């Protein structure tokens, strides 16, 4: 897989894999027009085009930066930088917190120098967790030497869909002989157990994220017929720092790809018209999910506390005689 040279300040005009600085990527200072990322694709589908406009740094000049107030790095961000980027751009500050004048001055100097400051205690914890991550990843025989020769770490895939630019900052791309692995690394304060990660896939939009990544790599390398397999690498920041790797199967990615296609269509329509609607301007109807009704019906049948409760409707919904109230509930009341 060929890496294309990135020239800061020069708009990208050709699709490719670029070693783009993180700040440049997140600011979308890449192409001559705003580009769509997997995060924005999730927002435009799960919320609205207006939310996507509001979150885009080139469409909304007032978009908020998460770390704008201090520019400091937390443990999770440090883990990500050290595992995938050898800790480039980190300034370790020997303070317990940022409360003292000296700590604030050192922090500000680091920020002015283009570095991201982190407290020494947080950095030590991040170092321990990264070492644990490497040790655990080495045990996965399906992904041998994941960080070794041939691996492409933290590169931006830039491509076009029907004339619109797309971008994806992919943590790990490893072209093995029989398949191409795409891996997204996430640290969490919650459990990284495979079952827990699996339950989060749709709520967190990981199906869209990895389907978007896969689409980008397929667009950039259309003649490479190796299957593309997509993985979530999740590590707990607490306790023993356990790590799991979870693969999204084809059904999950196919659904994600459908959502990506819908997001691309909305993105193109909104950019063309420069109209970014919010939620529909008419009342939405809440329908009764079958499992909710079934759960209540089971209570009506089995819960003696509801016996004889009946319905407070002018017209009865059914002609069934109410069951007698269990006297034990009258006594308990």
Position 72 scores a pLDDT of: 66
What's the CA gap between 240 and 262, in Å, rounded? 41
Query: Can you give the residue ranges of every domain in the chain?
Result: 1-41+138-257, 290-332
The confidence band for 66, taking pLDDT boundaries of 50, 70 and 90, is very low
The confidence band for 236, taking pLDDT boundaries of 50, 70 and 90, is very high
- Percentage of residues of the chain with pLDDT beyond 70: 89
Helix (H, G, I), strand (E, B) or coil at 55: helix
Position 311 scores a pLDDT of: 66
Contact of 175 with 150, CB cutoff 8 Å: yes
Mean pLDDT of the region 144-171: 96
Tell me the torsion sign for CA atoms 68, 185, 168, 144: positive
The predicted model scores a pTM of 0.85
């Amino acid at each position: 897989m060929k890496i294309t040279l990135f020239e800061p300040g020069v708009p990208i005009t050709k699709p490719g894999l670029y070693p783009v600085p993180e700040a440049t990527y997140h600011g979308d200072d890449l192409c001559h027009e705003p580009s769509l990322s997997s995060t924005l694709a999730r927002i435009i589908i799960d919320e609205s085009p207006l939310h996507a406009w509001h979150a885009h740094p080139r469409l909304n000049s007032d978009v908020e930066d998460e770390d704008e107030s201090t520019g400091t790095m937390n443990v999770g961000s440090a883990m990500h930088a050290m595992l995938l980027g050898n800790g480039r751009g980190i300034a370790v500050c020997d303070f317990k917190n940022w409360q003292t004048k000296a700590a604030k001055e050192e922090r500000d100097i680091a920020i002015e120098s283009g570095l991201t400051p982190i407290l020494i205690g947080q950095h030590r914890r991040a170092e321990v967790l990264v070492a644990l991550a490497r040790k655990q990843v080495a045990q996965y025989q399906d992904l041998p030497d994941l960080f070794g020769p041939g691996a492409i770490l933290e590169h931006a895939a830039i491509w076009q869909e029907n004339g619109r630019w797309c971008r994806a900052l992919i943590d790990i791309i490893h072209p093995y002989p029989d398949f191409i692995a795409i891996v997204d690394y996430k640290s969490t304060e919650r459990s990284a157990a495979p079952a827990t990660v699996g339950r989060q896939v749709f709520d967190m939009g990981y199906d869209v994220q990895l389907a978007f990544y896969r689409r980008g790599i397929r667009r950039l390398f259309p003649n490479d017929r190796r299957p593309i397999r997509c993985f979530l690498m999740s590590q707990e920041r607490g306790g023993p720092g356990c790590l799991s790797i979870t693969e999204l199967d084809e059904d999950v990615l196919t659904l994600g790809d459908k959502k990506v296609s819908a997001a691309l269509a909305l993105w193109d329509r909104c950019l063309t018209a420069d109209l970014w609607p919010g939620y529909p301007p008419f009342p939405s109807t809440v329908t009764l999910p079958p499992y909710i009704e079934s759960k209540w019906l089971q209570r009506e049948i089995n819960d003696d506390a509801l016996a004889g409760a009946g319905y407070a409707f002018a017209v009865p919904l059914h002609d069934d005689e109410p069951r007698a109230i269990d006297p034990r509930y009258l006594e308990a009341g």
